[in-house]
Amino acid sequence: MQKIGIFDSGVETPEEIVMAAGFTPYRFFGDPTLQPDRANEHIPPTHCIWTRNLLEQAIKGLDENIVGIIGTHGCDRTNREFDIWIECLNLDFMFFLNSPRKRDNLALNFFINDLKELILRLEEVFNIEITPGKLKDAIITTNKIRKLLKEISDYRKKLVLKGSEFHELVKNAQYQDKNQVLENLEKKSEELKSRAPFSEKNIKKILLTGSEIDDTEFIKYLESLGFHIVIDDLGVGTKYFWNLVDENSEPIEALAKYHLTKPINSIKYPSYERFNVLQKLIEDYKVDGVINIAQKFCEPVLYDHPYLNKKFKELEIPYLFIEATYNRESYNQLSTRFSAFAEII
């Protein structure tokens, strides 16, 4: 099946529109074993390491089934860098979706217009028709996926499912065929019902937040140090499935509303509301501490850190902030700080 690639530093792209157009939404993820040598010819090395990694892969050659790309506004990186993607790739369909930074009614109306434009451009370029019926069908499918993921996510809290295993499930859901995803999640859900919990001994229950963390090996690395991610606030995580799209409203408006009302991330305004999201998760999941990971040069997360630090101190919640580099060799260099944090909590 043909795919539409998604370059999105959050999870703000309405996959349902891509599905209704007859394509598989294929979100791009980084490869931390890769050096962004060719991307560095386009983007200075002091810019977001993750988006450079994505560009590197794009320049080296995308999956041959990818027939177009949607770049979605997240942070500063996306709009300026999307011009470079246009420069480097030869695809007929390259659309930049201006996911608004604000979340009020004016922003909602604007986003509805931008989604309509996305639909129009897909229809024009691929000579297809995206009907409300097709959109509704897609919404029903993605909602099923969201419900299953939320249900499965809770097995982390019950100490049945490791954070790394769950991370992989969410990641797969963002680039594999949705029917296949649904089937896999249904099987997993069944399997988990009879899986025995693991021992709580020596486990530190963590809320993981920060930049986009798409390397499952990083989660495994945290687990090797005794941390268990019971809950997260990430794109490859709860942000992808926490709420549902209203299936009874006009579909485009429902999709826009869904994206503008889901738990806020650092790139939206006011980003400080993210603290409220985190606080609620901390209370609901009774975590021992919070780990906030900023990928090197990830400005939105860097701006939020001092505020979060202050607020967590006030609440006496253990909080660790780490600026990390996107390569696996660097993970071990962080072990002293992680170990010290584990001692504290």
Partner 1 sequence: MSKQKTEHRKMLNATQGLKNVMGRHFLAIEQAYRDGKPTAWATSGSPVELLYAMDIQPILPENSATISAAQKYSRDFIEIAEAEGFSYDLCSYFKTNVGAVISNADLTKGGTGKPTFMLSTDVICDTHVNWFEVQAERLKVPHYTLDIPHVISNTNNRQYNYFKKYISEQLYDFLDFIQEVTGNEYHEERAKQVTQNSWDLSMVWQDIYELRKAVPCPMSTRDTFGGLFPLFTMPGLKEPIKLYKRMYREAKKRVDSGIGALEQEDFRLMFEGIPFWYNLKFFGMLERWNSIIVYEPYTYAFSKYMNPKVTKEMVLSQPIEAMSELMLSFWYIYDLKTRIKKFEETVREWKIDGVLLHENLSCRPNSCGLYDLKRHLMDDYDIPCLVISSDMNDPRKMNETQVINQIESFIEILRKRKKK
Instruction: Tell me the CA distances in angstroms from 310 to 37, 265, 320, one per residue in order.
Output: 38, 18, 12
61: how many CB neighbours lie within 10 A of its CB? 9
Please pick, from the candidates 77, 188, 259, 274, the single residue that binds partner 1 as defined by CB under 8 A.
Answer: 77
Residues touching partner 1, count (CB under 8 A): 50
CB of residue 314 to partner 1, shortest distance in Å = 13
Q: With contact defined as beta carbons under 8 Å apart, do 15 and 72 qualify?
A: no
Compute CA 244 distance to the chain's CA centroid, rounded to the nearest angstrom: 16
Contacts of 221 (CB under 8 A, 6+ apart): 331, 332
Which residue stretch of 68-76, 150-158, 184-192, 329-337 sits at the interface with partner 1 (rule: CB under 8 A)? Answer: 68-76
CB of residue 49 to partner 1, shortest distance in Å = 11
Which residue's CB is nearer to partner 1, number 125 or number 225? 125
| Total residue length of the chain | 345
Please pick, from the candidates 62, 86, 91, 345, the single residue that binds partner 1 as defined by CB under 8 A.
Answer: 86
Binding pattern to partner 1, positions 23-52, x when CB under 8 A? ------------------xxxx-xx-----
Tell whether residue 222 is a contact of partner 1 (CB under 8 A).
Answer: no
Give the tokens for residue 275: 């603290």
Tell whether residue 113 is a contact of partner 1 (CB under 8 A).
Answer: yes
CB of residue 301 to partner 1, shortest distance in Å = 9
Binding pattern to partner 1, positions 264-293, x when CB under 8 A? ---x-xxxx---------------------
CB of residue 11 to partner 1, shortest distance in Å = 18
Tell whether residue 100 is a contact of partner 1 (CB under 8 A).
Answer: yes
Q: With contact defined as beta carbons under 8 Å apart, do 10 and 47 qualify?
A: no
Binding pattern to partner 1, positions 239-268, x when CB under 8 A? ----------------------------x-
Instruction: Tell me the CA distances in angstroms from 181 to 2, 21, 238, one per residue in order.
Output: 16, 18, 16
303: how many CB neighbours lie within 10 A of its CB? 13
Which residue's CB is nearer to partner 1, number 6 or number 181? 6
Which residue's CB is nearer to partner 1, number 153 or number 295? 295
Tell whether residue 114 is a contact of partner 1 (CB under 8 A).
Answer: yes
Binding pattern to partner 1, positions 296-335, x when CB under 8 A? xx-xx-xx-xxx-x-----------x-x------------
258: how many CB neighbours lie within 10 A of its CB? 20
Separation of alpha carbons 269 and 76, rounded Å = 14
In 93-232 the beta strands, taken as DSSP E runs, fall at: 93-97, 204-210, 227-232
CB of residue 116 to partner 1, shortest distance in Å = 9
Separation of alpha carbons 327 and 59, rounded Å = 19
Render 26-66 in DSSP notation, one character per residue: EE----TT---TTGGGTS-TTS-HHHHHHHHHHHH---TTE
Helix (H, G, I), strand (E, B) or coil at 276: helix
Give the tokens for residue 91: 């695809």
Tell whether residue 56 is a contact of partner 1 (CB under 8 A).
Answer: no
Residues near partner 1 (CB under 8 A) are: 41-44, 46-47, 73, 75-77, 79-84, 86-87, 94, 96, 98, 100-102, 106-107, 109-110, 113-114, 117, 120, 267, 269-272, 294, 296-297, 299-300, 302-303, 305-307, 309, 321, 323
